[in-house]
Amino acid sequence: MHTRNQPTERGTIYEVEGSIAFVPSELRTGALAKPTETLETALSAAVAAIAANSTVYQPEAVPEANAVAISNLRTAWRAAMSAYRAEARTVAEADARARQPGPQTDAAYESRFVQSLAAMDVPKRIGAVANLSYEQSSALVRHGDLDWLELPERVIADVMERHMLLGYAIRTGAQADYSAKPSFDNPLPVGADTEAAMAAVKPQLAAFRVQADRVQLAAGVLRDVVRLAASATGKTVDATWAEFAA
């Protein structure tokens, strides 16, 4: 039975009979580092045992012997899954908070604003949503209006990123730290320098996205390990998943 344990710059490749479990380096830091380390230790031991079984047992006895080797891996997988799910919930809750609209202070204005956008042709509408205030983007987010304004996906993504940055700036108080700068057109400005406040909190949004990306990578590792275990034991992926997730 062909096996492989190959470290690379991006992570480590574990293989059994063409089924690959890839553990990316990104999971070796941050909140998921410890459960990933435990899972990877068990995965490495399982692959080594599977390789040894192929040299010790007759071919017909290998799957049963491999099932024994997989048992410790299954325990580590369950522990990792529990930790990964906790992190996934944390990320989902943070994402929901970041995307939520601000308090509604003027329902009539929001309605007029959305209607004015709907009346524009698409090119003009794209320009109109380029630099929305938090109140304006909240009006669009509150009732899912972004979904029916026929905006390109990249524009929707830009609107949401600005909305999230503005929300971060308001909730963290960063907006209060950046006063609007005087200019020739407005020598006596009042209020906040919105762009500066958004720039200040951008690293926080970037860090959150790294955290969210790690959750996706962790989900991939869980699937990979199940596929590898299925190949080692001769069972289907569905049957192996049922055993692991039980």
Question: DSSP readout, 175-241?
Answer: GGG-BPPP-SS-SS--SB-HHHHHHHHHHHHHHHHHHHHHHHHHHHHHHHHHHHHHHHHT--HHHHH
CA–CA separation, 89 and 25 (whole Å): 22
Q: Residue 95 is encoded by which pair of tokens?
A: 């994402």
Residues 227 and 21: beta-carbon distance below 8 Å: yes
Instruction: Output the tens digit of pLDDT for each of the chain's 246 residues.
Output: 789 999 999 999 999 999 999 999 999 999 999 999 999 999 999 999 999 998 999 989 999 999 999 999 999 999 999 999 999 999 999 999 999 999 998 999 999 999 999 999 999 999 999 999 999 999 999 989 998 899 999 999 999 999 999 999 988 888 888 888 888 888 877 778 888 999 999 999 999 999 999 999 999 999 999 999 999 999 999 999 999 999
Position 40, amino acid: E
Residue 70: inside a domain, yes or no? yes
* Total count of residues recorded for the chain: 246
This prediction's pTM: 0.84
Number of domains in the chain: 2
- Whether residues 129 and 88 fall in one domain: no
Q: How many CA atoms lie within 13 A of 245 on its CB side?
A: 11
| d(C-alpha 176, C-alpha 95), whole Å | 23
Domain with 77, as residue range(s), is 3-97+211-245
In this structure, are 222 and 198 located in the same domain? no
Same domain, 93 and 215: yes
